[in-house]
Chains A and B, each alone.
Chain A
């Protein structure tokens, strides 16, 4: 850039002559108008609007003018440059619109082509359903408790008031565990998640509000509705002033969260050694809502036209269990429930055969997202 020349007093500078400025403006405007595409316009911008363009160079000469002439020349050159700038902007808009109309359309691709280059996998629906079930209770303030799958008999039975020779103990179809050399261990594959009740009471501060999802084991052959390995969600509350009404409330919240609001539940008296009183829990069939009962023309496959679906067992924690876990049953009471996770999955997603849950066929898991 040349510095302003103050050493002489020029009267006139050629590039600033009005005719000359007008000519440069006209040339620029004509070139802009003639630009056929964005690339040409970019060239025109370089030629007529860059720092090296004639108008820019003319602008630099203004400093050399006598003070009286500066304003006039500045106005003239500035106006021309503004006109060129506006024309460029307008032409740019026109050409971009043209490009959008023509060129981008020509660049079109077939968007239906697949791009499953790296296939996604899926989590097992039993896992995600168990999480959903637990989350409903976590939302109520419960925590998730855990325990071992190979369990001491004392935890699995005795502490839960299964007396040594009582029929209830033998009804559980237990897998008994031996040491590597075939010796007795006093261990079993846990037949239910209920031992986690006792473990929770032994390790947590009272009051206790926990759920415990997990694997359980019984010596049932695999068929459409049975599996030697299955899953339960245990629930346990031990607090002061706890009643069956709270249990019903928790079960209702679960059914509402899992299967939809407004489904009725009912308790049926039953027997479990570790709860007294005990109940089986049914929920209203979420498909027919009882409409199929006694209507042979509209049978319901989900509830076998019974109107109710059994979802688990529950009851007031037997005070003997509290005693065995070192909790004073005179001060505390509680309730517990066990819900079948396979059953919940079967009902929630229409799974019909237990084989599908245990075989690991990728078509089965792929049908579910990683979260459901």
Chain B
């Protein structure tokens, strides 16, 4: 809502020294957020004066018609001689009053005016158009002032209203009343304790009879309809300058007098009006639901198919307007209309909101209706409009008019008088609540400690005690609310899962990974790039109905594509050694999920209702992914670097599990998007059952190519929620101070036997005395024979109560080797 300050001052006795910026600051704190203050005309300097055209000489021989004019500007030019001005406009005659900027003047936009020779004549100054003055957009010629505007030579800046401060208010959805001068003025008056004159207080005589017939089909759609006519309207008369200027300053384009009047009254009172050409209406005006499939060509020349939920204004020949949204082309007020019928109605807001969305038509009218307008201002608004048509357009107001009133009175809201103070935490003086509520137009009745408050018809947003509390608090000043620290009961701190996530982030960062937070939007091509089979579960993704990028409508089922893209971006920016990680949710639709129900809001949901809603919300497990390329350890003066390999990726997963206090079981697997020979499946144990938590290894060359990654890029992805399920309480070990007995064994196994399995078997067979088993070498070559490999382990034994003898350690080692032999065919290397 754009509010010219001089217009506002017509309704509020605002102290003269209050500036637009003062007012803006005050309104903003009180909930009418002033986004900008436009100081119009501050870049304009005179002399800019009223002039009378004395002589016009048409200059011939130029590409366009040019006039050389002599203009009387009185003594404004210092000499009293007529000013000679060359002018390209043609919409004026000798004797017309015009606006002249004299040499030395500067027009809006920094356009300096001088005296110069042009078209072979001297031109000292300029006759101004509305556009040049910043008044409104008009390319048809210069401004011709009405007779009586002023004397020649008088300053025109003031009378034209060129200097104006306009407040641009971002009106919140609840404050529909502030989409009018009237509403902003009322709040302004209350804030300054100034007198307020309500422009809706229009004297309206009772009708002398029925006006144009009007009917409301359903009071639930529309509870008030006023039809008031004006006859003998002169469609050739222009809108007055002040009206066009105000419309323009308010952001509304001047069109014609009849249309401008409806817009002006809308800005003034907040009531959208429709001006009908009464001669084009066929029978009674009816407010009804559209028939499904009914058609209407709207003012924007679009043929629209109406919905049964649309409210239409119809006559006997059919729908003529989508109520509250846009009028129809057929009945549009035209250039020749002399019988004007003003329609003012109060429509049900949500119908208008839906229609506006359905037809993708947002208009000044729909914005107001859907936020809620005054439900009782229609007669005043229609009367104000026809009176303006009479005053400015030569029309006669019809004394008979139609007023269909199906409105129901609102009941009061009962609240404790102390409620606003209780909400704010401020002890307001007695009577505060009543004072402010009355100032904004509420009827307040005392009921003991309670107040029964009936909000005014222009405040449909006031429905609950807290709405009224907000009104009191904002006028008392939000800035005056004290600061009192909250006293929460002792909290339990972060949950184990929350602490784990923080620690994991640090662990990964410490081991070289940079965290990224990528968008969860992916496309089919990403899933193809991952080399997923058609039946891969990760292809089953939820989708956005309205994606920003049509190529990425899917919601991620894996973190990897986002990581790959971030890696490629870094490589593209000149980094060769890059390691990234991300921790975030993936979205896995539940098979057979039904639509999430819209539960009632007048009570809490039942357990069954919650179960239904949870069953519809997809599974959203938290995962950690990592990707790395280039060197894991850099080259430097110490020697060559060490390339990142599949082993780093798997180790990242192990580090994550270790940080959670969980051991990972690692097993070879074939799983997209990994290299089939360099892919590990990762498991944890939950209650003895093995649970898959993710995969790690080197990426498949096709995936590397699809995402433009460096060769041999490696990646890891694990499901943190599953790892957490394997967490148990860590128990302290018994730390023995007896000496360790170390035994090294080298075992030869078949090339195909995983070394991990050999180590596991050793650990299992070694018995209670085993402290640790660690692989320290793997060897293949002639000495162990073709198709075989040797794995060397260090076994450390220790007892808690004695020094182990060589025999005891040896026996434990032999037991370990025996188990390895049994499980993996391992033989001690001779």
Within 8 A of A (CB), among B440-497: 464-467, 469-470, 473-474, 478-479, 481-495
Chain A interface, >50% SS class: mixed
Partner of A180, one of B426, B510, B541: B541
- Let me know if B357 is at the binding interface, CB within 8 A: yes
Q: Are A202 and B605 in contact (CB under 8 A)?
A: yes
Complex Cα distance, B484 from A336, in Å, reads 15
- Let me know if A311 is at the binding interface, CB within 8 A: no
Q: Are A150 and B350 in contact (CB under 8 A)?
A: no
Q: Are A144 and B494 in contact (CB under 8 A)?
A: yes
Partner of A154, one of B30, B479, B598: B598
> CB-defined interface of A129-153 with B at 8 Å, one 1/0 digit per residue?
0010000001011111000111111
Q: Are A366 and B514 in contact (CB under 8 A)?
A: yes
Cβ of B521: which chain A residues have Cβ within 8 Å of it? 228
Complex Cα distance, B490 from A4, in Å, reads 78
Within 8 A of A (CB), among B2-60: 28-31, 33
Cβ of B353: which chain A residues have Cβ within 8 Å of it? 165-167, 170
Partner of A176, one of B31, B486, B545: B545
Looking at B425, B570, B601, B634, the one whose CB has the most chain A CB atoms below 10 A away is B601
Looking at B584, B604, B638, the one whose CB has the most chain A CB atoms below 10 A away is B604
A146 vs chain B, min Cβ distance (A): 8
Complex: chain A residue closest to B618, CB-CB: A150
Q: Are A120 and B512 in contact (CB under 8 A)?
A: yes
Within 8 A of A (CB), among B213-254: none
Q: Are B601 and A320 in contact (CB under 8 A)?
A: yes
Partner-contacting stretch, out of B263-271, B573-581, B759-767: B573-581
Partner-contacting stretch, out of B158-166, B392-400, B585-593, B811-819: B585-593
Q: Are A124 and B593 in contact (CB under 8 A)?
A: no
Q: Are A116 and B544 in contact (CB under 8 A)?
A: no
Partner of B570, one of A143, A163, A323, A361: A361
- Let me know if A302 is at the binding interface, CB within 8 A: no
> CB-defined interface of A215-245 with B at 8 Å, one 1/0 digit per residue?
1000101000000110000000100001111
- Let me know if B361 is at the binding interface, CB within 8 A: no
> CB-defined interface of B542-554 with A at 8 Å, one 1/0 digit per residue?
1111111000000
Q: Are A164 and B350 in contact (CB under 8 A)?
A: yes
Chain B residue total in the interface (Cβ 8 A): 111
> CB-defined interface of B621-646 with A at 8 Å, one 1/0 digit per residue?
00000000000111011100000000
Cβ of B174: which chain A residues have Cβ within 8 Å of it? 168, 271
A196 vs chain B, min Cβ distance (A): 13
- Let me know if A50 is at the binding interface, CB within 8 A: no
Partner-contacting stretch, out of A23-31, A84-92, A261-269, A284-292: A261-269
- Let me know if B354 is at the binding interface, CB within 8 A: yes
- Let me know if B597 is at the binding interface, CB within 8 A: yes
B809 vs chain A, min Cβ distance (A): 34
- Let me know if A53 is at the binding interface, CB within 8 A: no
Cβ of B357: which chain A residues have Cβ within 8 Å of it? 165, 170
Q: Are B518 and A360 in contact (CB under 8 A)?
A: yes
B636 vs chain A, min Cβ distance (A): 6
Complex Cα distance, B481 from A113, in Å, reads 59
- A153-B596, A184-B595 known; A246-B512 Cβ under 8 A: no
Looking at A177, A215, A269, the one whose CB has the most chain B CB atoms below 10 A away is A269
- A177-B543, A250-B486 known; A268-B423 Cβ under 8 A: no
- Let me know if B783 is at the binding interface, CB within 8 A: no
Partner of B485, one of A187, A253, A279: A253
Partner-contacting stretch, out of A14-22, A96-104, A324-332: A324-332
- Let me know if B620 is at the binding interface, CB within 8 A: yes
A67 vs chain B, min Cβ distance (A): 44
- Let me know if A71 is at the binding interface, CB within 8 A: no
- A150-B587, A245-B483 known; A123-B350 Cβ under 8 A: no
Looking at A116, A167, A229, A320, the one whose CB has the most chain B CB atoms below 10 A away is A167
Cβ of B119: which chain A residues have Cβ within 8 Å of it? none
Partner of B517, one of A115, A124, A158, A243: A124
- A229-B519, A229-B520, A268-B478 known; A323-B632 Cβ under 8 A: no
- Let me know if B137 is at the binding interface, CB within 8 A: no
Partner of A365, one of B514, B596, B620: B514
- A121-B579, A180-B540, A277-B469 known; A243-B424 Cβ under 8 A: yes
When A and B form their complex, which 10 residue pairs have the shortest distance between CB atoms, in order from nearest? A326-B604, A245-B425, A243-B425, A269-B31, A141-B488, A186-B596, A360-B566, A360-B516, A277-B470, A271-B172
**Can you report 6 A-B residue pairs in the complex whose CB atoms are below 8 A from each other?**
A118-B633, A144-B498, A277-B473, A357-B517, A370-B509, A371-B506
In addition to A143-B494, A151-B617, A237-B488, 4 A-B residue pairs with Cβ atoms within 8 Å of each other are: A140-B485, A179-B593, A253-B485, A360-B580
